[in-house]
Amino acid sequence: MGWFWADSTTSIDAPHPNLKSKASPPPECPMHNASSQTIPFPPRNSPQPTPSGSCPVRAPNESISSSKPSTLSKLNPLNYMPANLSQSRDARQTIHLPTEREESSIPRGDTESNWEYPSPQQMYNAMLRKGYDATPEDAVESMVAVHNFLNEGAWAEIVEWERRFSRGLGFGWQACRRGEEGFVEEADRIASPREVAAPKLLRFQGRPNEMTPKARILDFMGRMYPAKYGCEPPFDRHDWYVQRRTVDGQTKEVRYIIDYYSAPPEPTGEPVFYLDVRPAVDGPTAAAERMMRWGGDVWYRASGGKVRETASH
């Protein structure tokens, strides 16, 4: 889902919806049409046959020709995508696809600009290069709309984490101790006069074939107790590397994990998605952040915190 691009050519300002845990694409998205054909995203790629007699493992002493650049060298290190993917129409293409690109609301870490989303033509070319040669051309614009919508929602969730913990664990606990409902009021009460710069996205990586430990546990629980935990595994997984600026002006890189889930559609036919966004447990600080936010919310609700506050007033 996160096919941002590091090379920018155009900027198009457009408003973005704020996606929370459950949402549907914006009204202008063609996928709102309940009668439209359901297209898997991403579409399943055609199997690539292995040449007869070839070995998939390179021998340790086998030399690599310097005349042909490696696949890795052709990828943009910020997003692991082809660095200069063409906007040109593919020879197999039968319909016109727009080449205009939309600017996201997500700040980049290497410049003062925002990340840009691929155009439908770039998306189509990228999918062809990845082997998704059965991609329906008339569905590409819908895919781009959903892609952009979900990434904006993922960033909105990351910003909420940063609002709580970019000022340190002490501020984070004070902000989280009244649960999600009381966060805004509590954060305003204890806000520091020193402003903290907004986070920026440094780079990201799609890892759709690597389930996170949490996703594996939920999948196992769903198999054991389908009535309570049953759900499909995430259809995509991303790692986003975010630049956090602390109150003392220092910068810190924080890795966030995003699991993308599909849910049953609304009665109107609108698709529903769930995003599970959280900091990766790369150290004790990230583990404490997760425990504070989720534990604080569970304890506040389970202990009747809202009832006590209402009664005291």
- Quick check: 114 pLDDT over 50? yes
For 27-50, what is the mean pLDDT? 41
Residue pair 185/174 in contact (Cβ under 8 Å)? The answer is no
| 106: enclosing H helix or E strand | strand 103-107
Rounded Cα gap, residues 188 and 77, in angstroms: 39
What whole-number distance in Å separates Cα of residue 126 and Cα of residue 145? 16
Confidence of residue 313 (pLDDT cuts 50, 70, 90): low
**DSSP code of 53?**
T
Give pTM, 2 decimals. 0.72
Report the alpha-carbon distance of residue 54 to residue 48 in Å, rounded: 13
**Residue 81 pLDDT class (50, 70, 90 cuts):** low
Cα 205 to chain center, whole Å?
A: 9
For 203-241, the pLDDT digits (tens) are 998 898 899 999 999 999 988 888 887 778 999 999 999
- Give the torsion sign (CA, 51, 123, 137, 44): positive
Q: Per DSSP, what are the bridge partners of residue 237?
A: 259
Between CA 237 and CA 258 the distance in angstroms is: 6
pLDDT tens digits for range 238-291: 999 999 998 888 899 999 999 999 888 889 888 889 999 999 999 999 999 999
Reduced to 3 states (helix: H, G, I; strand: E, B; else coil), residue 15 is coil
Residue 176 and residue 295: Cα distance in Å, rounded?
Answer: 9
Do 75 and 81 form a contact (C-beta atoms < 8 A)?
Answer: yes
Task: Find tokens 């493992």 and name the residue.
Answer: 57
Which residue shows structure tokens 């989280």? 176
Q: Is 194 helix (H, G, I), strand (E, B) or coil?
A: coil
